[in-house]
Amino acid sequence: MKAFLMYRDHDFDLQRESPSNEQALTQDLELNTLLNAMALGDKFLLEVARKAVLSSLNDLDTILYRQNILKDCLKNSSTVRDIYGIALEVIENKKKHYYGISSRYPSSILYGSIEMLQMFVGLLKKLKNIADEHADKFESEGFTAFFTMLKKELDDEYFDSVQDHLRILKFREGVLISAELGKGNEGTNYILRKPQDRKQSWMERIFAKKPSVYTFHIADRDISGARALSELKDRGINLVANALAQSADHIDGFLNLLRIELAFYIGCLNLHGQLAQIGEPLSFPLPMAPCERRHSFQGLYDVCLALTMKQKIVGNDVNADHMNLVIITGANQGGKSTFLRSIGLAQLMMQCGMFVPAESFCSNVCDGLFTHYKREEDATMDSGKLDEELSRMSDIVDNITSNSMLLFNESFTATNEREGSEIARQIVCALLEKQIKISFVTHSYEFAHGFYNKNMENAIFLRAERQTDGGRTFKIIKGEPLQTSYGEDVYNRIFGMKTKERLSASE
Amino acid sequence: MIFHSILFERAEDGIKKETLEAPAFFVDLNLDQIIDAITADKQEYNLKPFFYTSLNDIDAIKYRQEIMQELGNKSLLENIRSFALKMNTMRRYLTLIDKLYYKYHKEGWFLEAVEIYCDAVNDLVHDLSLVDLKSRGFLAFREYLTDYANSGRFTSLLAETKKLKAGLSEIKYCLLIKGNRIKVRKYESEIDYSADVEETFKKFKQGAVKDYRAKLPAASGMNHVEAEVLNLVAKLYPDIFLNLDNYCAKNGDYLDETLDVFDREVQFYIAYLEYLTKFKRAGLKFCYPKISNERKEVYDYEGFDLALANKLFTENSSIVCNDFYLKGRERILVVSGPNQGGKTTFARTFGQLHYLAGIGCPVPGREARLFLYDRLFTHFEKEENIKNLRGKLEDDLVRIYDILNQATSNSIIIMNEIFTSTTLTDAIFLGKKVMKKIIQLDLLSVWVTFVDELASLSEKTVSMVSTVVPENPAVRTYRIVRRPADGLAYALSIAEKHRLTYDHLKERLM
């Protein structure tokens, strides 16, 4: 039995190694803000959300599979939370009742397993009841299969047979074991046997040939004899104890996996709630094949900024379909970084099967998402800044594949503009030839303009909008790179304010 | 030919009294290390006496060489190994029986011992029938073995054993344990309950989970409860257990003595060959030397010290091979040259080669001809011994005197740095005296010395010198080469380093 709520045909692996660039992505995209909004302080939800968001899906099919399940969750959120609650009960019960199987002795392993299974049977029955009651309200393939499986596998007859086993395994009638003579006439091949039903009539019983049976007793004070006897018994029940303990583990595993897989959707529900409250739009994105070049959206906003500000923020509309290279230039503090982040976040959210923060969003799936951002001065002083930047770039090159996506934010500026732009140019050209999709935020006119002059078919140039009075709209619009980033505006704003303040103070 | 032993073709050649005492020269030649290493994994066979006793007959050596060579055939070697393994298991079972208490338990293990013995014999008969044997030893052994396996004694033992074993293995009984009571009865086709339970819960299988099977002590030995159960099982099946009693009473001496001895003796070869394996894998060569008791023109190419090789092997260092040969009337290798250059190793190698050849073993080297000596003497520098109250020089001389008294012209003497505790003039004088005696006796000898004069004393002496790397005299090559001992080898290499040799100077003074 499998939940299969994250993949159609396999389990979600919480132990899977995170991509090597996990740390960079988390830092550059402010991912923790998003993940914390999903987790709402729950460590487990955080862990699952992190794993799910960072292990991007590459196949459209699974993305849509999750999207549909998520749509079901949004429709039936309380039922979904109830199911999640059952999975959570396992942990609470274990904590409360000290359930556990940890012993070297088959008899106590058996005892512990029976206790544990009794508890699981209770939870499975609850699960079954929910399935019976609510299954018809779910439409997604994933949930339909899940409920169908519960109904099929956990019928009343099955619960009866489990109870029957749990009763027999208490061995009120004694333990029946078969054995053979092994080497040196030592007993071997001890196998636990199910006692035959004695459903014979009294006539049959009287006339049946009595098999010869020999009996002996261990004397009351014979301690070593008693130990030997229990060893013998242990040999008999070793396998069944193992089978039972493993079954308990399997059911535990099933419920745990259910908990893990639902945790992702619970996280999505949490996030959805918060964004709905702010009034930000959410939509299910349209993923396209990795080899295509699609990137068009309306009202795309930085979900992390919205969550931090707790208010609606400016969204952007861009059509960059068929483009391999997006170069973003323009005014300082004009929203370039925010824009770049919103692109990265939306991509990650889409590729884990989630909704995206936009009115509409369509993009090709990418093989891997990488970020290369300008960093603070290296605190360890081990390497110069450019050296550090290039070494990070080299790490990326080690891991990047065709059809990946790479976000640069003011990279290679740790040297003068000419050298920096030449480095950047060579890197970008090589990456483009490798079919890697690039978004590059830069102040470097030489770099940006160089590409602009090439008149490439697959490059688009965006600019942070500046109003003529120097005001910022935080809108990103199409436009060629300019020689200035309007730093003066910022200067004026800061110093201008200070001047005004001084003036008003002196008044 | 009637088979006696895989070590000796003729019964009268056999070791009269096995000794656990190594020959006197073992320590000097580091042969003790070699034999210890060879026999380390085979303690139970007590092989050392075989390695401590040399042969004095060329045909006896050839008998062994043929067998050892035959064992180079991998499948034959595997056949013998598998036979040995079974015999070993059999012995383990027999030892076990002595430690057991309960009758049917003892009898059960006795039956196991005989069964594996029968397997050992039958398998070996079958295996050997498939091998194209050439050595006298193995041909005779195969004949003996085949006759034995066809003998009435063995075939009836085999039949009885199989029958009993089959009967016992068909027994299947049930225990019903409740409280402190056990009921024992025959098995009545009750179903496997563990499998049933497993089937019920199969649907929850989620991939690998922990194994909860308790590591119950492996079934060996029997406590009184198990013994009582066994007694009751015997009551359920009285006929089979009666047969078992009779069988054990009758077959106490089932083991054939010649096979038992073969099993031990053949390990002499296997131990030696196993020891060589790692060296062969490292590219070192071994050969079966030609042995003569007349010609003293001995040689060995690419030889090495087997004890040192073992040490270097564990340290992952490379091993340097050396050649030597004696032609015509040459008898004595005089080895001189810089210290720590491999002189002693070279001398030991000479001794080891001869000793190992003399017990019928292959020796280090690509090709060798060695001498069948009657006695081997070594004289290595000894610690001063306070007990003998003699000075060191005197001690040296006493020992040499004893050796020369015992040596015949067929002996070998290996001398290592003697007369070091006197002046050079004395050493030259004494050395020459002793050397003359050796020359007179026409002995084969290796003489490691710092006294260059000894190297050119007679047509019987050959000078060999340890060498250094010319560019850096501090680096030893461990190569010992035939070269006059003019004391210049060392000085010359220093001159080369400073470009002051003749050739260099010619060039420089142009």
What is the rounded average pLDDT of the residues B307-330? 90
In a domain, B395, yes or no: yes
Q: Kindly state whether A208 is in contact with chain B, defined as any CB-CB distance less than 8 angstroms.
A: no
Three-state DSSP state, A311: coil
- For chain B, state the CA radius of gyration: 32
The proportion of chain A whose per-residue pLDDT surpasses 70, expressed as a percent, equals 86
CA A393, CA B132: separation in Å to the nearest integer?
68
Write out chain A residues lying below 8 Å of B198, CB-based. 243, 247
CA A447, CA A449: separation in Å to the nearest integer?
6
User: B317 and B257: one domain?
Assistant: no
What pLDDT, on a 0 to 100 scale, did the predictor assign at position B490?
52
Write out chain A residues lying below 8 Å of B109, CB-based. 183-185
In a domain, B204, yes or no: no
CA B488, CA B504: separation in Å to the nearest integer?
16
Q: Which chain A residue shows the shortest CA-CA distance from B106?
A: A184
Which tens digits make up the pLDDT trace of B148-205?
999 999 999 999 999 999 999 999 999 999 988 999 999 988 899 988 888 888 888 8
Question: Which one of A181, A218, A247 has the shortest CB-CB distance to B168?
Answer: A181
Query: Residues of A5-23 as b/e, b for ≥16 C-beta within 10 angstroms?
Result: bbbeeebbebeeeebebee
In a domain, B19, yes or no: no
B204 in Cβ contact with A254 (< 8 Å): yes
- How far apart are the CA of B411 and the nearest CA of chain A, in angstroms? 57
- Which pair of structure tokens corresponds to residue B421? 């505790």
Of the listed ranges A288-302, A481-495, B21-35, B443-457, the least confidently predicted one is A481-495
In a domain, B488, yes or no: yes
Q: Kindly state whether A231 is in contact with chain B, defined as any CB-CB distance less than 8 angstroms.
A: yes
In a domain, B108, yes or no: yes
User: B108 and B173: one domain?
Assistant: yes
- How far apart are the CA of A53 and the nearest CA of chain B, in angstroms? 24
User: B473 and B370: one domain?
Assistant: yes
- Per-residue pLDDT for A425 more than 60? yes
Cα angle, residue B416 at apex, residues B413 and B417 outer, rounded to 5°: 140
Does the beta-carbon distance from B197 to A240 stay under 8 Å? yes
The pairing of strands A325-330 and A437-441 is parallel
Taking the CA atoms of residue B138, residue B142, residue B143 and residue B146 in that order, the dihedral angle to the nearest 10 degrees is 170
| Closest C-alpha to A3, from A75, A99, A112, A86 | A86
Name which of A120, A151, A181, A242 to mutate to probe chain B: the one with the most chain B Cβ atoms within 10 A of its Cβ: A181
- Per-residue pLDDT for B475 more than 70? no
Does the beta-carbon distance from A1 to B204 stay under 8 Å? yes
- Which pair of structure tokens corresponds to residue B370? 């060695």
Amino acid at A26: T
Question: Which one of A173, A225, A247 has the shortest CB-CB distance to B225?
Answer: A225
Q: Kindly state whether A185 is in contact with chain B, defined as any CB-CB distance less than 8 angstroms.
A: yes
Does the beta-carbon distance from A228 to B176 stay under 8 Å? no
A83 in Cβ contact with A262 (< 8 Å): yes
Of B208, B234, B268, the residue that ends a domain is B268
Q: Kindly state whether A244 is in contact with chain B, defined as any CB-CB distance less than 8 angstroms.
A: yes
- In the numeric block, the tokens 């080669």 are attached to B353
What is the rounded average pLDDT of the residues A375-393? 58
What pLDDT, on a 0 to 100 scale, did the predictor assign at position B438?
92
User: B479 and B373: one domain?
Assistant: yes
User: B246 and B297: one domain?
Assistant: no
User: B460 and B426: one domain?
Assistant: yes
- In the numeric block, the tokens 């049977």 are attached to A121
A438 in Cβ contact with A428 (< 8 Å): yes
Does the beta-carbon distance from A229 to B191 stay under 8 Å? no
User: B133 and B58: one domain?
Assistant: yes
Which tens digits make up the pLDDT trace of B116-148?
999 999 999 999 999 999 999 999 999 999 999
Three-state DSSP state, A320: coil
In a domain, B208, yes or no: no
Three-state DSSP state, B146: helix
User: B305 and B264: one domain?
Assistant: no
Cα atoms in the 13 Å half-sphere on the side-chain side of A276: 9
Sheet strands side by side (includes B299-303): B290-292, B367-371, B299-303, B322-325
Q: Which chain B residue shows the shortest CA-CA distance from A222?
A: B180
- Per-residue pLDDT for A384 more than 50? no
| Closest C-alpha to B308, from B267, B356, B355, B364 | B364
What pLDDT, on a 0 to 100 scale, did the predictor assign at position B351?
96
Three-state DSSP state, B390: coil
Q: Between these two residues, A506 and B328, which has the higher pLDDT value? A: B328
- Per-residue pLDDT for A110 more than 80? yes
Domains in chain B: how many in total? 2
Does the beta-carbon distance from A257 to B191 stay under 8 Å? no
Does the beta-carbon distance from A178 to B176 stay under 8 Å? no
In a domain, B455, yes or no: yes
Residue B491 backbone phi and psi in degrees, to 5:
-60, -40
What pLDDT, on a 0 to 100 scale, did the predictor assign at position B388?
54
User: B289 and B335: one domain?
Assistant: yes
What pLDDT, on a 0 to 100 scale, did the predictor assign at position B347?
93
Q: What pLDDT band is residue B504 in, cutting at 50, 70 and 90? A: very low
In a domain, B247, yes or no: yes
CA A457, CA B446: separation in Å to the nearest integer?
89
Of B240, B268, B296, the residue that ends a domain is B268
User: B318 and B450: one domain?
Assistant: yes
Q: Which CATH number fits the domain that encloses residue B343?
A: 3.40.50.300
A123 in Cβ contact with A85 (< 8 Å): no
Does the beta-carbon distance from B203 to A242 stay under 8 Å? no
Write out chain A residues lying below 8 Å of B200, CB-based. 161-162, 165, 247
User: B116 and B243: one domain?
Assistant: yes
User: B4 and B106: one domain?
Assistant: yes
A185 in Cβ contact with A44 (< 8 Å): no
Conformational region of residue A452, where left means phi above 0, alpha means psi within -120 to 50, and beta covers everything else = alpha
Which tens digits make up the pLDDT trace of B352-408?
999 999 999 999 999 999 999 999 999 887 654 555 545 567 777 888 888 989 999
- Which pair of structure tokens corresponds to residue B157? 């033992």
Write out chain A residues lying below 8 Å of B207, CB-based. 11, 253
The pairing of strands A213-217 and B181-186 is antiparallel
Cβ-proximal residues to B23 (8 Å cutoff; 6+ apart), any chain: B31, B52, B54, B376
What is the rounded average pLDDT of the residues A94-119? 82
Q: What pLDDT band is residue A202 in, cutting at 50, 70 and 90? A: low
Of B268, B295, B322, the residue that ends a domain is B268
CA A361 from centre of chain:
21
Range of the domain at B505: 282-509
Does the beta-carbon distance from B214 to A104 stay under 8 Å? yes
Which tens digits make up the pLDDT trace of B49-86?
999 999 989 999 999 999 999 999 999 999 999 999 99
A337 in Cβ contact with A344 (< 8 Å): no
- Which pair of structure tokens corresponds to residue B143? 């004949």
